[in-house]
Chains A and B, each alone.
Chain A
Amino acid sequence: MAEASHAQGIGGTFAVLLALLLAWEAAVWFFTPAPILLPPPSAILAELWSSPRYFLRHAGFTLWTTLAGFGLSVVLGVALAVAIVASRWADRVITTILVVMNSLPKVALAPLFVIWMGTGAEPKIAIAVMLAIFSIVADVALGLRSVDPDALALARVHRATGWRILWKVRFPNALPALFVGMKVAISFALVGAIVGEFVGGSAGLGHVILIAQGQFDTVRVFAALFVLGVIGTLLFYMVEAVERLALPWHVSQRSQHGSSPR
């Protein structure tokens, strides 16, 4: 039943999107704005259809830097959160650095990363990490901390070591928070990758948009935006699907198990 309602939800989303595209097409046909300002959706789809390999290649680059930045953020973010929870000293140092880093506009740092790392994938991944890591660290640290004090007492009564408490109690307890952080981080990683491509390099959808803008090729700009929207949406739903598989026990996922007999 839950699966059916989930499928219905996706079907509904598509219906709304299709209706919006049709309204857009009709509006362009009716008001005939200059093509350089607003092309119709049919022209955008034709543009994608005319050079699929070009868009695939650049989308692939953006996807790879986004996923690399996201993956690194998760690994580093979880490690930093563990350090923050484990030691008051680490908490002070790491939190201070993260807050300062997060209050700087990352777009302003992008040129610096190009100077340091060149114009390949590395600066894009670095900027994606800078944008995405904050939500991972903040959410996971909260999840690791908000453990039932009685559960910790129980672990201590059974003489559990700190590592065992981390692995068997704190970490599973933080998983729902990790997924909240990951859903925010995946979108931020994509933003970071595009910002990196705007600043330098010769690949990725950000680069496509920049070049097309220089040629006033509005149709191509829209085509690249369309692909970006599809990638961003798919990445988000991918994280949500993994969450459903990983947390069947969590309150937020329980509807399909029926209510408790209490």
Chain B
Amino acid sequence: MGLCIEVTGGGKTYASARGPVTALADVGLEVREGEFLSLLGPSGCGKSTLLRAIAGLDPLTSGSITLRGAPIDRPPERMGMVFQRDVLLDWRSIRDNVLLAAEFQGLPKRAHEARAMALLDRFGLGAFANRHPWELSGGMRQRAAICRALLCEPEILLMDEPFGALDAMTRDDLNLELSRIQQDGARTVVFVTHSIAEAVYLSDRVAVMSTGPGRVVEVFEIDLPRPRPLAIRESPEFARHVAAIRGLFSRLGIVKE
């Protein structure tokens, strides 16, 4: 498997009223082509900062990030992103919110309408295409946001704690759906979360981050077979992966036994 994204010596320092704050220091990370990689860590470890740098939104202050060898200094082509909040625009219908991904790039809306409807159908939102965001539940809204990110068939999908604001049952549903769509496309996903179980369930590899300053501590291979039913979370192999990661967190002093 080839290398997709590579972060070397990544550092990020903010200027603040109390002097400079180091959010990331000497981050090294490799994301392979077509894999699902999670950035897992406690809040404040800089995982979202790292993701935004990979997205080309906020550059690092030191080190480099490359996409297939070329440095990322602005958002690359064929990339989609899902945020913690759905960021749907109130004045547009659900379908038009999904089509926004094409409109922003100046691509013809017409050419994407069929795909937008197909995506909405696939995520169970077909009947809600003409509704407005405020008429939908939180889970449905986040599904629409995922459809928007997938509209232009991205090669890279970045997800910044996309299910963090949802209830546990909706979260399970969306984990299952995300795991399913990962099956059918050669798509590289970088997924930020602070849930160990979610990271293990979804990922091919989990990069564990720590605070003070933010850095990648260790990368775990998750060799669970795919497709993964939700029940895989009760299997001994699953528990073994979760225990290994939790063990690292307690050695780092992030979780206390």
Contacts and interface: CB of A to CB of B under 8 A. Distances in A.
Interface of A: 148, 150-151, 153-161, 164, 168-169, 172, 175, 247, 249-251, 254, 257, 260-262
B57 A153 contact: yes
B120 interface: no
20 contacts: A150-B85, A153-B55, A153-B81, A157-B79, A157-B81, A157-B158, A158-B104, A159-B75, A159-B104, A160-B105, A164-B103, A169-B89, A247-B91, A249-B90, A249-B134, A257-B132, A260-B135, A260-B137, A261-B136, A262-B137
B103 A260 contact: no
Contacts of A247: 91
Contact of A172 (B89, B101, B103): B89
Highest count of chain B CB atoms <10 Å: which of A148, A257, A260: A260
B204 to A, nearest CB: 23
Contacts of A160: 104-105
A148 B81 CA distance: 16
A260 B80 CA distance: 28
Interface string B77-118: 101110101010111000000001101111000000000000
Contact of B83 (A153, A156, A257, A261): A153
Given A157-B55, A159-B77, A168 B100 contact: yes
A257 B135 contact: yes
Contact of B80 (A150, A151, A157, A262): A157
Given A156-B57, A159-B77, A148 B101 contact: no
B138 interface: yes
Highest count of chain B CB atoms <10 Å: which of A164, A249, A250: A249
Contacts of A155: 104
Contact of A249 (B57, B83, B106, B132): B132
A164 B91 contact: no
Given A160-B104, A160-B105, A261 B137 contact: yes
- Name A's interface SS: helix
Contact of B81 (A154, A164, A172, A262): A154
Interface size grouping (class) on chain B: 20 to 34
Contacts, number: 74
Contacts of A257: 132, 135
Interface string B14-52: 000000000000000000000000000000000000001
Nearest to B76: A159
A130 B74 CA distance: 43
Contacts of B79: 157
Contacts of A158: 75, 100-101, 104-105, 152
A157 B137 contact: no
A156 B103 CA distance: 12
Contact of A150 (B83, B100, B134): B83
The 5 closest A-B CB pairs, nearest first, are: A158-B104, A160-B104, A249-B91, A157-B81, A150-B87
Nearest to A158: B104
Interface in B159-200: none
Contacts of A157: 55-57, 75, 79-81, 158
Contacts of B55: 153, 157
Nearest to A249: B91
A247 B79 CA distance: 32
A99 B158 CA distance: 45
B138 A262 contact: yes
Nearest to A160: B104
A260 to B, nearest CB: 5
Given A151-B89, A159-B105, A160-B104, A260 B136 contact: yes
Contacts of B83: 150, 153-154
Given A150-B87, A156-B75, A249-B91, A168 B104 contact: yes
Nearest to B141: A262
Contacts of A172: 89, 91
Highest count of chain A CB atoms <10 Å: which of B87, B106, B158: B87
A164 B52 CA distance: 22
Contact of A250 (B90, B135, B158): B90
B150 to A, nearest CB: 12
A156 B59 CA distance: 13
Contacts of A262: 136-138
Given A153-B83, A159-B77, A261-B136, 9 more contacts: A150-B85, A151-B87, A151-B89, A153-B57, A154-B83, A159-B74, A159-B104, A249-B132, A260-B136
